[in-house]
Structure 1
Amino acid sequence: MRPHVALLLLPLALSACGTAEALSRIGRPPPMAPITDPTRVAGWRPVSMPMPGTQDAYASPNSLWRQGSRTFLRDQRAAAVGDIVTVLVSIADEAQLANNSDRTRSGSESMGIPQLLGLQTSYARVFPVPIDPSRLVEATSDSSTTGQGRIRRNETVTMRVAATVTQLLPNGNMVVDGRQQVRVNSELRDLTLAGVIRPQDIASDNTVRHDRLAEARITYGGRGTVSDVQTPRYGQQVLDAILPF
């Protein structure tokens, strides 16, 4: 098969795959993902972070206090791999940026050689039309550029997500990973988050704010009937990628 023919048939193949997948979901809502061990998901790998120097641990004889404890009673906050901590996601970002630029430049150049070693009398034999030696070269230029840009963004996401501690770092910080799915009718909403938290930032009710997560990765999206309507078709996406105008 010639390359250009294969290129033309590629959008049809992609469309057929998407159509078959859509037909297989007729009459059924989007399936929810099974509960799995986050460390066994393809692409997962342990987090490596800069660590402070090690400190020697010491024991306190004849004392009920245990080093690292926060209270004499049992602490219910997450502290080990497999524990669950609730992350409070409250994002209310707003940004507005406006920029205007205006540039204008004009120039004019003129040059003439009225007398050049007496050769000005020979101009008529060299050039087909009569010329004025005092106006041999004249050039003018005029340019103008105007630009205007504006960005306005407003995002609000408020949710509570239970995340699992997947790793303990040498300095005591914990790597958490959480996922939440909510299906309403035929629309599935998916929220995932990951990051590194300090034990000191976990409140007494075993919650931590999302802005306390280092290297935070928070995604919120969905799939289903509404998302399918809002997503451009494969053919339109291919044309948007290859058309130069």
Structure 2
Amino acid sequence: MMKRIWMVSVLAVAGCGKLEQVGRAPEFSDLSGSNQHYAMSAAELPEDSAPQRETVASSLWSAGDDALFGDRRAAGRGDILTVVIEMNDSASVTNSTGRNRSGQQSSGLPDFLGIPQRINEALPDGASMDEAYAAKSSSTFKGSGSVNRSEKLTLRIAATVIDELPNGVLRIEGQQEVRVNFELRELIVTGYVRPSDISRQNEITYDKIAGARISYGGRGQITDMQQPTYGQQVADIVMPF
């Protein structure tokens, strides 16, 4: 009884959350407490640990990031770089298995000091110790399966360096939200990159991101219509058939 009450309470709370969005567009996620906000607003590193970029006052060459030929690639916490996601993957797998096995076994006692003959006299008509038992078995199994998958995705997103590991690897995180009418499209990218893999255009492809986590989805009325209701989802989990 308590489990039923708890389940009804959970469904009621979830339903109330959806009812609050009736007639309203999905809200954007707040970035004020995110890792990106912290990385950009954190205190700068001490001057002695920063790379030396001083130039002679009379020199016409400037080695800073704002120079014409300066290195504008992301190198530390709070820097921004572009992640290029271009997926065009396809896979096709087909498997088939067949198995067939049969067996036959019999045993009897036709002659042993005349004992079987005496036993046969006491047995019903048609029964004999000549073949005490016989067994046959057979099994057949066939299975087949196929998987066809095709994925194509082309996206670009600005990510922020939120941490620099002791070995120089950069941890990045990017979040992008686009709202069109009452549908919110969300793209999230996280992972680890090497500074040397960042191109001169301050870009990096997704296949060079270690531990990449890429999420592309949406929130809104269209997404809700594509999902089964809460009652149906609970029924699919609880029902054994």
The normalised TM-score by structure 1 is 0.79
| SS of residue paired to 2:97 | strand
Kindly state the Cα deviation for residue 219 of structure 1 after the two structures are TM-superposed: 1.1
Q: 1:78 aligns with which of 74, 88, 92?
A: 74
| SS of residue paired to 1:141 | strand
| SS of residue paired to 1:89 | strand
5+ residue gaps in structure 1? 42-58
In 2: Cα distance, 1:174 partner to 1:203 partner:
14
In 1: Cα distance, 2:186 partner to 2:179 partner:
9
5+ residue gaps in structure 2? 38-51, 60-64
Structure 1 residues 124, 113: CA separation in 2 closer, same or farther (over 3 Å shift)?
Answer: closer
| SS of residue paired to 2:74 | coil
In 2: Cα distance, 1:176 partner to 1:155 partner:
24
Question: What's the CA shift string for 1:117-159, capped at 9, x where partnerless?
Answer: 3221342576556512222111111110010111111111211
1:118 aligns to 2:111 (yes or no): no
What residue number does 1:230 align with?
A: 226
What residue number does 1:138 align with?
A: 134
What residue number does 1:215 align with?
A: 211
What pairs with 1:55-204 in structure 2 (closer than 5 Å)?
Answer: 73-124=69-120, 127=123, 130-204=126-200
Matched length: 218
Question: What's the CA shift string for 1:158-209, capped at 9, x where partnerless?
Answer: 1111000011122222111111111111111111111111111111221111
Q: Which segments of structure 1 move beyond 4 Å, counting only runs of 4 or more?
A: 124-130
What residue number does 2:20 align with?
A: 24
Kindly state the Cα deviation for residue 72 of structure 1 after the two structures are TM-superposed: 9.7
What pairs with 1:28-67 in structure 2 (closer than 5 Å)?
Answer: 28-39=24-35
In 2: Cα distance, 1:151 partner to 1:29 partner:
38
Structure 1 residues 180, 126: CA separation in 2 closer, same or farther (over 3 Å shift)?
Answer: farther
Question: What's the CA shift string for 1:212-239, capped at 9, x where partnerless?
Answer: 1111111111121111112122222222
What residue number does 2:62 align with?
A: none
In 1: Cα distance, 2:143 partner to 2:239 partner:
25
| SS of residue paired to 2:234 | helix
In 1: Cα distance, 2:222 partner to 2:114 partner:
85
Contact 2:36 2:161 in 1 (8 A): no
Among all aligned residue pairs of Structure 1 and Structure 2, give the percentage whose two residues are the same amino acid: 38
Stretch of structure 1 that moved more, 129-138 or 141-150: 129-138
In 1: Cα distance, 2:165 partner to 2:123 partner:
85
What residue number does 1:53 align with?
A: none
What residue number does 2:46 align with?
A: none
Q: Superposition RMSD on alpha carbons, in Å?
A: 2.8
Counterpart residue identity of residue 189, structure 2: L
| SS of residue paired to 2:172 | strand
